[in-house]
């Protein structure tokens, strides 16, 4: 939040204020925690401009809040493997923009592509970089990982993708499991030879990918060790 707030010219709460607010919200809503395996208590911190202003400028006043809500699985198919579509024309973020921060500005641009993909039977969309249009970046609301042998690869965070907390946890777990972890540019063509693909995010958790359609070709994947080893991460 502090990184995003600085980028958006917003004051941010201190670390202690943030942690205390999350703890209080979780305790106050503990009765709403779903039974194990049935869902989770999703906790969402928000920082919003609430001071009066009409022109284009930072708001004179901001409100920090945290709310909690019991939720089921993020995707309607539950824990079933996702079916993704690679979008080649619409881009989620561009260099110099705000793609690397947790901001609402990263969600509005993907709505049309998501709507079209879901209308055609896909779970979500995988976006390419806006410059070369050949490197994979993110799914609409989550990070993506590829597994090939003993190597786990994920797109490098260079300002156009979010360095998600769940992403970081997966990287740490992969190291502990003995995987070689690479954060790098990943060409879309590498999707064809990957053994396994999965997505991560605070709302998504760890979601396996069963197939990706790229340039009219449907590529299917297996669900193997690293997904099962990391899927205990709480949402």
Residues noted as catalytic: 102
Q: Which helix (H) or strand (E) holds 42?
A: strand 40-49
- Angle subtended at Cα 216 by Cα 99 and Cα 196, rounded to the nearest 5 degrees: 65
Phi, psi of 119 (to 5 degrees): -65, -20
The encoded tokens of residue 110 equal 């993907």
Beta carbons of 84 and 125 less than 8 angstroms apart = yes
- DSSP code for 41: E
H and E: helices and strands count for the chain: 5, 11
CB burial readout 110-141, b (16+ within 10 A) else e = beebbeebeeeebbbbbbbbbeeeebbbbbbb
């Amino acid at each position: 939040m502090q990184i995003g707030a600085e980028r958006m010219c917003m004051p941010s709460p201190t670390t202690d204020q943030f942690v205390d607010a999350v703890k209080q919200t979780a305790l106050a809503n503990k009765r709403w925690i779903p039974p194990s395996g049935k869902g989770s208590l999703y906790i969402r911190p928000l920082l919003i401009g609430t001071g009066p202003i009409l022109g284009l400028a930072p708001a004179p006043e901001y409100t920090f809040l945290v709310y909690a809500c019991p939720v089921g699985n993020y995707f309607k198919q539950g824990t079933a493997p996702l079916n993704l579509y690679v979008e080649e024309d619409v881009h989620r973020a561009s260099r110099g923009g705000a793609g690397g921060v947790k901001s609402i500005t990263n969600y509005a641009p993907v709505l049309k592509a998501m709507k079209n993909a879901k209308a055609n039977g896909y779970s979500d969309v995988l976006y390419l970089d806006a410059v070369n249009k050949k490197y994979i970046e993110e799914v609409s609301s989550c990070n993506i990982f590829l597994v090939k042998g003993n190597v786990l690869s994920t797109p490098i965070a260079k300002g156009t993708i979010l360095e998600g907390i769940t992403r970081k946890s997966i990287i740490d777990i992969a190291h502990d499991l003995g995987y070689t972890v690479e954060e790098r540019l990943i060409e879309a063509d590498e999707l064809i030879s990957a053994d396994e693909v999965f997505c991560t995010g605070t709302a998504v958790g760890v979601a396996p990918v069963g197939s990706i359609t790229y340039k009219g070709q449907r590529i299917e994947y297996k669900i193997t060790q690293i997904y099962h080893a990391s899927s205990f991460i709480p949402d």
